[in-house]
Structure 1
């Protein structure tokens, strides 16, 4: 591998097997060539309660599915990117499978993964992968292939708790009012229940909660179970 290729190596696509807590384990897969495509898919789930005879409905938000993404990249066994050193395509596919889909003995399941390419970093699990062999030598052995792999993102334990706490009604929230905001609506956004708007008005000493001043900051205190 030439000096320029070696300098770029740390920035190439890497797939690192990890345990549940995000600790690396096993051999990582380092791609020779960076992805040709990265497709990111986000999906929201809505409930549509469509009464009989009605032409439409107002969907109710249910949840947001974990984000998925697909990578497509090339592996090569001709030596074009390794100064003539030919690394068999079958060996590279085996390394990819070992890092992503093989059962890890200590986990009794395929490993969790960290996928990193440039500024794109994701903790995830693999859903599926396809290997398409595109070039063969005179003996019929593959010398080039394309891999397309799909992953589902996950949140490492601990980080998930922090994210949940940030949106918890058991913490104090500060909200900046924008033009047209209504107190019952802001209360619903914070607590998922607009019935607390009078208490919020009292805490913020609002004389007229029906007309909020744009740019002002409102405090939404924790909800007491009592």
Structure 2
């Protein structure tokens, strides 16, 4: 079985659509020994003056961060293809990750693919540690530490969040087998609101539901009476 190399694919759109060219693809010379995925959730304590403690209130889920290191070498020891220096390789990587693209008025979007890993995001940093030099002082080996922050387009983010808080507005597309009581239970935690939802959506019957119909679920407070 052929060895799978880690690849970084560059895209000019937040939907990550299209097929990147060879110039828009970085393939690791040697797969990294490790990489780091960092996830954080922020809370606000909302503690009042003179109080001893407070419940932490959810604020935001921070996007994930990916960090890894890549070896770039032109000595020929690794690939059997010696070159004078890695300067051109470094420039290509730097331009790929950080260069401002006039067409989209910002740097590119990236997808990291390796094994079961698929990480989408923007490059936030490139640190280059030159490790070896030839007799003319030109670098022939470097370790490049690259960091990315997770990023998806708003439409996909909304779909992935699938918020089910009863105090928020929801739209659901009916699928075969769906029932209003079941959907009400999933969103409100109470299936008895199906009569109200049928009335809001002007449904003549809550039983004869047509797949593909979009149903509106308005915000309901916990003390909302059942109709």
Q: Same fold (TM over 0.5)?
A: yes
More divergent stretch after superposition (50-59 vs 164-173): 164-173
What is the match of residue 54 of structure 1? Answer: 51
Residue among 161, 174, 191 paired with 1:200: 191
SS of the residue corresponding to residue 170 of structure 1 reads strand
- Aligned-residue Cα RMSD (Å) equals 3.1
**TM-score normalised by L of structure 1:** 0.70
Residue among 6, 11, 15 paired with 1:18: 11
For residues 126 and 20 of structure 2, what CA distance do their matches in structure 1 show?
A: 21
What is the match of residue 143 of structure 1? Answer: 140
For residues 53 and 83 of structure 1, what CA distance do their matches in structure 2 show?
A: 70
**Unpaired runs of at least 5, structure 1:** 176-185, 192-196, 205-220
Relative distance call for 1:12 and 1:83 in structure 2 (3 A) is: same
Residue among 159, 166, 176 paired with 1:162: 159
What is the match of residue 35 of structure 2? Answer: 38
Relative distance call for 1:160 and 1:73 in structure 2 (3 A) is: same
Conserved 8 A contact 2:181-2:192:
no
For residues 59 and 181 of structure 2, what CA distance do their matches in structure 1 show?
A: 23
How does 1:1-226 map onto structure 2 within 5 Å?
Answer: 7-8=2-3, 11-20=4-13, 21-22=15-16, 23-25=18-20, 27=23, 28-86=25-83, 88-156=85-153, 158-165=155-162, 167=164, 169-171=170-172, 190-191=187-188, 200-201=191-192, 203=194, 223-224=217-218
Relative distance call for 1:71 and 1:40 in structure 2 (3 A) is: same
More divergent stretch after superposition (139-148 vs 154-163): 154-163
For residues 20 and 154 of structure 2, what CA distance do their matches in structure 1 show?
A: 17
Alpha-carbon offset, residue 88 of structure 1:
3.0
For residues 40 and 165 of structure 1, what CA distance do their matches in structure 2 show?
A: 23
What is the match of residue 208 of structure 1? Answer: none
Alpha-carbon offset, residue 130 of structure 1:
0.2
**Unpaired runs of at least 5, structure 2:** 173-179, 196-214, 221-227
What is the match of residue 202 of structure 2? Answer: none
**TM-score normalised by L of structure 2:** 0.70
For residues 225 and 200 of structure 1, what CA distance do their matches in structure 2 show?
A: 15
Per-residue deviation, residues 73-118 of structure 1 (Å, max 9, x unmatched): 2111111221243373212111211211112232122111111122
Conserved 8 A contact 1:126-1:151:
yes
For residues 84 and 58 of structure 2, what CA distance do their matches in structure 1 show?
A: 50
Per-residue deviation, residues 37-78 of structure 1 (Å, max 9, x unmatched): 211111111011112222221101111011111111211111
